[in-house]
Structure formats: C-alpha cells, structure tokens
Amino acid sequence: MGRKHTVIIGNGIAGITTARHLRKHSDQRITVISAEAPYFFSRTALMYVYLGHMKFEHIKPYEDWFWEKNDIELLHDYITDIDTQEKILKREKGESIAYDQLVLATGSQTKYYDWPGQDLKGVQGLVTYQDLQNLEAFTPKPGEKNHRVQKAVIVGGGLIGIELAEMLMYRNIEVTMLVRENHFWGNILTENESNLIMAHARAHGLKFQTQADLKTINGDDQGNVESVTLADGDTLPCQLVGITTGVKPNTGTIKGTDIEMNNGIMVNEYLETNIPDVYAAGDCVELRNPSSSRRAIEPVWYTGRMMGEVLGRTLSGKRSAYKPGPWFNSAKFFDIEYQTYGVVNAAPDVEQVHWFWKKEGENKFVTVAYHPDTLEFQGINGFGVRLLHAYFDRALTMKMKVSEVIGHMSQANFDTEFYGKWPREFKLAFTRDTGIAIEKKSRFNQLFSR
Amino acid sequence: MKQKHLKVLGATLAVIAVLVFAGLTFYGNSDLTQSSLEQTVDAKHQPLIDRLQALPEAPPAEMAGRVDEEIDTYNSGIIAQQGISDDYLEKVLSKLNGDPSTYNEAFVADYFSADPDIQKRVTESTSWMYGREWESFDEFREQFHQKTDEINRSIVEDNGIGDQRREQFRQEVMENGAPGWLKDGLWAWLIFGTATLGGLLFMIPGVKKHPGIKNDGIYHGKMQNRKWPAIILFAFLIGFYIVLYEFPQYFVNQIVLLEPLSQKMAGVASGRWFMYGFLYTLVMSIFGAKMMIKYRGNAYQQVRTVSVVFFQVVFAFTLPQILTLLQKPSYDIKSIWPLEYSFFFDYRVDQMLEAGTFGLYLLFWGIALALIAVPVLTYIFGKRWYCSWVCGCGGLAETAGDPFRHLSDKSLGAWKIERWMVHSVLVFAVLMTAATVYTTITGESQVLGINSYDVRSTYGFFIGFIFAGAVGTGFYPVMGNRVWCRFGCPLAAYIGLVQRFKSRFRITTNGGQCISCGNCSTYCEMGIDVRWYAQRGQNIVRASCVGCGICAAVCPRGVLKLENRDEKGRVNDNPILIGREGVSLNL
C-alpha cells in the first residue's frame, strides 16, 4: 500500500487551497488536475493582464517550483469520466488515475439564457483563461486602428460586466451595457450607490441602457456578431457581445455520474457529496443547508478559499465543518473601490433601515444598514474608502448596535495614510441624519485598539 | 487626439533638448588661442601653454585628445632634457662590462654627476643595488631600467604635468577653452528650458484623467518593457556615467553651460559634480511633477514626492553651494555614512577640523545621523523616513525611476542574492571605513598588510562609481528603479536591519480581502513578493521595504496599509484569515 491518494479536479482557489492545507496536515499523495491552465492563477486578476497592468506570469500567486517542493503533483489534462465505484478517473490525454479521495473544485462558467444567436463568433463571457485568450485574439491590440471590432454590447450589469467594460474601453472599443433593472447591479447595490457608480462609469465613457432585455443576437454571413436586438425592438450594432449575466456551477464532467446535483454539486456542511470519499468545494458547490445569512451557491473567491481551508483539514482525517462568518466581498468599479460587510439589501424594508453618507465633492460614500427597532448593526457598503474587515466581522458576530459601530468608526478606517479624516465628519452626520446618538464603549476600545 | 499630440510634442522637445545637450561634446568648438591659461597655469609651463594656444579650435571630443598629446610631448621633452634617456642608460650599463657587482657609489659619481639633481635621484633610488650579486646581468639591467623609469616619472611629477595633476590640468585647460557663447547662460536656458517644457507638456494630458491608478498598458508598451527604446536609454545612461566619472574632459561644454549659475550660487567655477547635481535635481523635479499628477487621489504619494524633491533641491543641491560660497566645508548634510562613504576620509575629516566650530558641528552631525538618527527614526517610522522621503538616490528612483518599478525581480532566488549582496557591501563599507580611520589616526597606511588607500579607491571605483552610479541609475530600464538600493546600498542594509528587528513600522493586511491578484508584488520596486504575505493575512515586515506605499496604492481591494504602531503583534508568523469560524493554519 502506497500513500493515500487525494485527487483534486480544478486548480482554482478552492482546489489549490484544499491541496495546500491538506499538505500542511498530512503526507498523503496529492494530485491536482486542471484542463484550464498548468498552474494556479488568480482568476480575479485576468482583467489586469488584458489591461497591461501585469503579464500572465504575474497573476500566478506561487512560483512554479513551489508545487514540487511541497510535493503537490500537477496534471494539465481534462477528466472525461468519473467512476465512483472503482474510484477511477479517465483522462483525455494521459492514463486513468485511481484515487482514494476525490475533490471536485471545477468552478463555474458563464451562464447563458438560450438567446438566439448566442453561439455566434464574438459572443463570450469572462470567466476562464480561455475566455481571456479568446478576447485577446478577437479584439484590437492596444492602440490598434481600424480593427473590425469597434463596438461592444455587454449583457448584464454586475461585477464582471463592469470589469469587462473597463477592459474593452482600454482597447478603444465603444461599450454599451444592457441593464435589466433601472440601475446598475440593481439586485445588490442601493439606488443611491448604483447611480453614483453609473455616473462614474459614464465619466469614463461607458454607456448604459437600462430596463433593457436582450432578445436576440444577430450575425452576418460569416457567423460573426453584427448586432443585438432588445425586447423593445431596439437594435444595437456591435461586433462583440459580452455575456456577464452571472455564472453557474461547472458540472459538465459530473453529469451522468451518481454524484447528486441540483444547480451545483450538493454537499453537506462537511463539503461531502452523497458519495463516500467524494467532496466538493468552491463555485461548483451547492450547500444543502446554508446558514441564514449566506446563499447555497456563492461563486466568489473568498468562499472558495475558505472551503478549501476546511476541506484540506477534513481530508487529512480531522473532519471539520464549513461555517462561514459574516458575509464580506470587495470589487472595484473603474477607480472606485468597493467593500461590503454583512448584509445590506438593495432596498430598505421593515427589517432594515439604510443610512447613506457621501463626502461632498468626492467619490467616497457609505451605506450603513441596521434594524429599525433593535438598532442592531446589519452591514455596511463602503465606496472609495477602505474599511477594516476585522472590525466589522467582530461587530457583526457580536451583534453590536449601529450607534456603537459608528461611534468607533475611526478604528474601522483602513485608508492609506494622509487620506483625510472622514470618519469624524461621518459620525457627526450620522447623528444629525438619524437622531441616534453615537456610543463609545470601552469594550470596543479593548477589542480594536490599533 | 489633441492630447496625444501634446504628448508627442512634449516628448519630442525633451528628446531634442537631451540630444543637443549630449551633442555639445561633438559641437561647440574648444578654442585655446584666446584662452587665459597664463592666469591659472604655473609660469614654468609656458612652453606647454604656447603649444596649447597654438592648437586649432576643435570640438571637445577632438580637443581633449590633442591636449593629451601635447601634454605627452611636453613631458617627453622634459624627460629628454632633464631625465635619463634609454640611449644614455645603455651606454652607462655597458661600462659595467657585464659585472653588475661593480655598480657602486663611485660609478654613480662617474656617470651621473653632470646633473646634481639626477645624481641625487639615482643615488636615492639605486643605493641598495651597490655591490650586490645578481643571478644575471639581464636581471640587473631590468631592475635598473625600472628604477630609471621611476626617476623619469618623478621628474615629470616635479617639473612637468604628472599623472596626479594631469586630469585636473586637462580639465582646467578644456574648461578654459570652451566657447564663450556657452557660458553666458542663454544656451543653458534654451536647453534646460526646452527639456522642462517638453516634460511638462508630456504630462499635461494626465491632468485630465480621473484620479486613480494609472497602470493601463504598462506591459504593452516598449519603453517600460525592456524593448528597444529601453535598451537605448540603458546604453545612454551607462555611457553618461562612464563619461562623467572617467572621461569628464568630454563634458566640458556641458559643464560650462552652468558657469553663471555656479558663480551665482557658490562663487566658484562650474565643475562636473555641479553639473551632475543640477541635472539630477532638474530631472527629479520634472518627474516629481509627473508623480504629483499620476498619484492625484493618493495623498501619501504626493506628500512623499514633495518631501524627496524638497530634500534634493534644498539639502543636496542648494545648501552645499551656499556652504562653498561661505568657504565652509560643503557636502549634502542629509547624506549619511555609509552611503556617504567618504565621510571619514582623512581629507574630509581634516577639512572639518580646520573649519572651527562649524566644522566640528558638521562632524558631530554626520556621526549623530549615522549612530543616533538612523536607529531612532527607523524605530519610529521605519526605513521609509530616509529611503523614500529624504534620500537622493531614493528620490530619483521614486520620481524618474517610477515608470520602471515593475521590472524588479520578485523571485525567491533574487531575494537570496539581494541579502548576500547588500550585506556584503555593508561589511565592505564598514571595513573600508575602519581601515581609513585607522590610517587617519595612526598615520599608518598599511592595515593587516593591505594599503588602506587601495581599499578606499577600490571601494570608490566599484561601489561608488560602478554600482551606485552606472548600475544604480543605468539599470532602471532593465532591472527596475531600485537596483542600487536593493542590492548595493550599505546604508539601506544598515537601516534595513534596524527596521527588521526593532521598529514600529509594518504593512498590515485587511482580514480575508486579498484576491491574490499580484498587483502589489508586481509594482514593488524592492522586489518583495507582497502577495505572499497578503494572501495569508501576514504583516509585511521586511528589511528591504522602503515604505513607498505603492503596494497599498495599487491594491484593488483595499488590503494593504502602511502603519507605525505598537511593536506588539508586529511580526505574526502564524496569521489567521478572517471570514469563517474555526482556526486554521495559513501556509
């Protein structure tokens, strides 16, 4: 008997974090298989390669020697079939592999809504390395003139959408973004926030078409995109259509196996599937029983990483449950950084009040959410300001009152030095607007003394 | 499109100014016929002055060679007249009839007494050879030739233009002969004015952009990506430093451009180091303005830029001129040993000791900076108080070098080389200084069998000129803007040790927000793999970090922050990423 063999399909953040943590806890044989790229790279950084901030080699978080040194085998291949009875994986290029434990970390893929014409040349999302390569091949080089791709339409207003818009505009492509709601990322951002982001994006040259529903994508004789038609009959000429209406679990290889799936691969809180010794982590996962403030499918970097941390431990024999804390996320809209902690709904309701604050003349604004009766702090969206994760994580876990959280705001500030003393103005405005007196309690000072 | 034209126009003007400036070496005739060499050169060299003044006018590139030839001819003439010629020597040696043991005092008196000076020199140099037994006559002859060569050289030192004076003499002659029209200030205004105007026009379009990180296309261009324009710039910079240090005679026209400014500021003639200081300050100021525009929206970058430019303009450039004007010992008083490696050299210590109270104050100041200010300020603020806020080398790197910051090597291998190299230079600097101080105090030039002056000049050549100058700046376009600071600066090594082991400074990370994108590592000029720490939630506490703050600026998710705080918890080797319940290891 050799060492126990754990095989991980997918070398994204979930698969790689699993491998690294498993290695730290045990000396099992570990193999990571990916068809996408030979080495782990930061998916969220693909845009920076296209923008010329970095080369592809820079978005690899570990040098290539790292894997051999840590005894993690990497295979650049595609798994065509999973036999969970015999515990054997069939590969496209190499010989089949036997496993003792299997981890599915296959990530997600662009979600299409069966639009007529969605298979035309020039229709694509931005999720994989291949998407980036396709985009690079299809669009003009920086500064290139008279390229056939002059106009693009982006379907879906969200994080990937606005990143794709920034990318294409750098290549001098005129971009129109179709937004189904009244405003950008309307199911997440509040109206105030969204309008400010849209104004900022417009200042950068992005065009929005709100309440716009894509009906068909139209092609020319060669099968290239020529235009899109909207539900209201409007036709927009374009040579590229970016699909950024969201992602769905990438489960192509799993279909046809006895592994249970719904929208994603079904797992319990230990990230175990219905089949013994088969686990799943990251974007491809659908939790059977998500905690109240979290969703069953969370296709974000951080969730993949945290699941990997836990799963690495479980695979080593120390069975551990995945228990996410308060929700957090971040993004960047052109020049405006965005961080969120806790739950800030797109619109206030009977369970949630919003207080919005904006620094005069600057792109710095914040929405604070709290319960109207108990005044319990529920969450915060920060734009153009940097907020300390540890501060809000504790405030949310300890169910602090909004008055206390605001009262100690200066300790939550993570802005670079000399950035200005906005938290003071912020505190005064809070009391002025809401009538709630801020509180300072010593327990905060102890907790967050920085 | 208008903005693009402005950029092209600006770049063109700047390039023209640089080419005209460099071209002065081949243009702007040097004319010695009208020169007033009589005033500066010893009257005994009148024959040489006559010959120099008879030279036809020519550009410096040619004239320098001719002046050298004239000096050679003049020196040969002196040897022929006053020294020992080879013919005479052979004749004399033949008188020994193949028996070198008969060489003695009487022999010297017989054959070298015609000139008492020669007799004295020969006696001094060869008395040890009297009556000795030799393996062969050829061995004796070889020795004797060597000695007469030395005698001839010392005659040239005393009566001609010897090696020790030659460089300075040539420089004086050349600067004297530089065309007068270059010295009246008009051309200085034209050349440096055009360069400045070009630089400003080039950066105007940046003002119209939104404040934010401007790294679009850095890896798509040629100049910032080690392509041909970068290689040309690289060769140009290396060439500039070689000429500046080793062949300053080719820069006389450029030097005299600044004659009026030097006279006004320091009351003395312009020299190559004045010119270099002026260029350095001008380049830093122009690129400092570019930094101010590029980093609108990031106050830390702007304040820091104002600071380095201020210290360059006031402390590095202006103050030393004023001290010269006041006839005080003058140097850049914010430059700290061991970066200011000549601080403890005998001539500098003597100069300070001779300058009374003020000199003593300077001496005290220099020692206090190195021994008190460095540890104390580094404890409070970290290495950045000097390296990215005050230092001139750092200042140029942070302004003119900023466009090349991403070219530094981030690999673990590079870090290993860096640690060995920079600390070796520190050890070298300390030993060199110790030897020099020993010599200054005891008057003994041999230290443990090594000549301390040789150690000094070796350090000056390899570290001062090649590493700090040519490599330090010339390598900007190929290895990034902090090659010197990272691999070579002994002061950075010293401050780095303090920062690593006893400081309040660290870069903190923001919980679990890192997405491992790599912007921080890519744009770290010191080649620190910032992401390695950020993605595991670990504070960045590294000896090399100069605290430029760019990692925090380019981070798209607000993860990094430079902080000075309580030492407690500064080094967290087992960090925890926030975001879920339960503790886990971070790799």
Burial of A432 (0-12, 13-18, 19+ CB in 10 A): exposed
Helix B137-159 to helix B86-94 angle (10° resolution) is 140
Query: Is the minimum CB–CB distance between A322 and chain B shorter than 8 Å?
Result: yes
Question: Minimal Cα distance from A335: which residue of B?
Answer: B212
Distance CA B506, CA B508 (A): 6
Rounded to a whole number of angstroms, the distance from the CA of B501 to the nearest CA of chain A is 20
Which residues partner with B561 through β-bridges?
B508
Q: Is A24 on the interface with B (CB under 8 A)?
A: yes
Select the residue of A321, A324, A416 nearest B552 (Cβ to Cβ). A416
pLDDT for the residue A157 = 86
Rounded to the nearest 5 degrees, what angle is found at the Cα of B227, between the Cα atoms of B224 and B233?
70
Interface mutation target, options B381, B411, B515, chain A, most CBs of A under 10 Å: B515
pLDDT at A84: 96
Q: Would you call A60 and B300 a contact, using CB atoms and an 8 Å cutoff? A: no
The verdict on a CB contact (< 8 Å) between A339 and B519 is no
Q: What are the phi and psi torsion angles at B580 (to 5°)? A: -150, 170
| Cα–Cα dist A176/A296, whole Å | 32
Name the CA dihedral angle for A160, A162, A167, A171, rounded to a multiple of 10 degrees. Answer: 140
A354, A368 Cβ separation under 8 angstroms: yes
Helix residue ranges per DSSP H, A71-208: 129-138, 159-170, 191-203
Could A414 and B558 be called an inter-chain contact, meaning their C-beta atoms sit closer than 8 Å?
yes
| Spatial distance between the Cα atoms of B284 and B394, rounded to a whole number of angstroms | 10
Closest-CA residue of chain A to B558: A386
Interface contact flag, A320 B581, Cβ < 8 Å: no
At A261-319, the pLDDT tens digits run 999 999 999 999 999 999 999 999 999 999 888 999 999 999 999 999 999 999 999 99
Shortest Cα–Cα distance, B546 to chain A (Å): 15
Cα A17 from Cα A43, distance rounded (Å) = 14
CB within 8 Å: A309 and B580: yes
Residue that has been written with the tokens 């809000």 in this structure: A392
**How would you label A42-58 residue by residue, b for 16+ Cβ within 10 Å and e otherwise?**
bbbbbbbbbbbbbbbeb
CA distance A210 to A227: 18
Q: What is the pTM for the complete model shown? A: 0.92
Report CB contact under 8 Å: B556, A324: no
The CA-atom distances, in angstroms, between B408 and each of B244, B413, B419, B487, B540 are 26, 12, 15, 11, 18
**Quick check: A325 contacting B, CB < 8 Å?**
yes
Q: Is A294 on the interface with B (CB under 8 A)?
A: no
State whether B515 and A42 contact (CB < 8 Å).
yes
In chain B, what is the straight-line distance between the N-terminal and C-terminal CA atoms, in Å?
50
d(CA B360, CA B344): 13
Q: Tell if the CB–CB gap between B557 and A339 is shorter than 8 Å.
A: yes
How is A13-62 classified by DSSP, letter by letter?
Answer: HHHHHHHHHHHHH---EEEEEESS-SS---GGGHHHHHTTSS-GGGG-SS
Specify the pLDDT at position B97: 83
At A309 the pLDDT is 95
3-state helix, strand, coil in chain A (%, to 5): 25, 30, 45
Tell me the mean pLDDT per 10 residues along chain A, length 450: 92 98 96 97 98 98 97 97 96 95 97 96 97 97 94 95 97 97 94 97 97 96 96 96 96 93 97 98 97 92 96 96 95 97 96 96 96 97 96 94 92 90 90 91 55
First to last CA, chain A: 53
Interchain CB distance below 8 Å, A53 and B580: no
Report d(CA A115, CA A185) in Å as an integer.
Answer: 21
Tell me whether A293 touches chain B (CB under 8 Å): no
Q: Give A81 to chain B, closest Cα distance, Å.
A: 31
Cis peptide before A423 (omega within 30 of 0): no
ipTM: 0.95
How far apart (Å, rounded) are the C-alpha atoms in residues B378 and B497? 10
**H-assigned helices in A204-300:** none
Which among A61, A170, A389 has CB closest to B511?
A389
For residues A388 and A384, give the distance between their C-alpha atoms in angstroms, rounded to a whole number. 13
DSSP-assigned letters across all residues of B257-289: HTHHHHHHHHSS---HHHHHHHHHHHHHHHHHH
Closest by alpha carbon to B45, among B174, B175, B178, B169? B169
Q: How far is CA B482 from each of CA A348, B301, B395, B485, rounded to the nearest angstrom? A: 52, 17, 10, 5
Helix (H) or strand (E) holding A444: helix A442-448
pLDDT for B372 equals 97
A256 touches chain B (CB under 8 A): no
Structure tokens given for A255: 């279909």
B392-402 in b/e burial notation, b at 16+ Cβ within 10 A? bbbbbbbbbbb
Which residue is listed with tokens 């809209």?
A: A333
Which of B218, B300, B579 is opposite residue A417, by nearest beta carbon?
A: B300
State the pairing for strand pair A377-383/A336-342.
antiparallel
**Per-residue pLDDT for chain B (587 aa), expressed as one digit of tens each?**
578 899 999 999 999 999 999 999 998 888 888 777 777 788 888 889 889 999 998 998 889 899 999 999 999 999 988 888 888 888 888 888 888 888 888 888 888 888 888 888 888 888 888 888 888 888 888 888 888 899 999 999 888 898 888 888 888 888 888 888 999 999 999 999 999 999 999 998 888 888 999 899 999 999 999 999 999 999 999 999 999 999 998 999 999 999 999 999 999 989 999 999 999 999 999 999 999 999 998 999 999 999 999 999 999 999 999 999 999 988 899 999 999 999 999 889 999 999 889 999 999 999 999 999 999 999 999 999 999 999 999 999 999 999 999 999 999 999 999 999 999 999 999 999 999 999 888 888 888 888 888 999 999 999 988 999 899 999 999 999 999 999 999 999 999 999 999 999 999 999 999 999 999 999 999 999 999 999 999 999 999 999 999 999 999 999 999 999 999 889 888 787 888 887 555 44
CA distance A123 to A136: 13
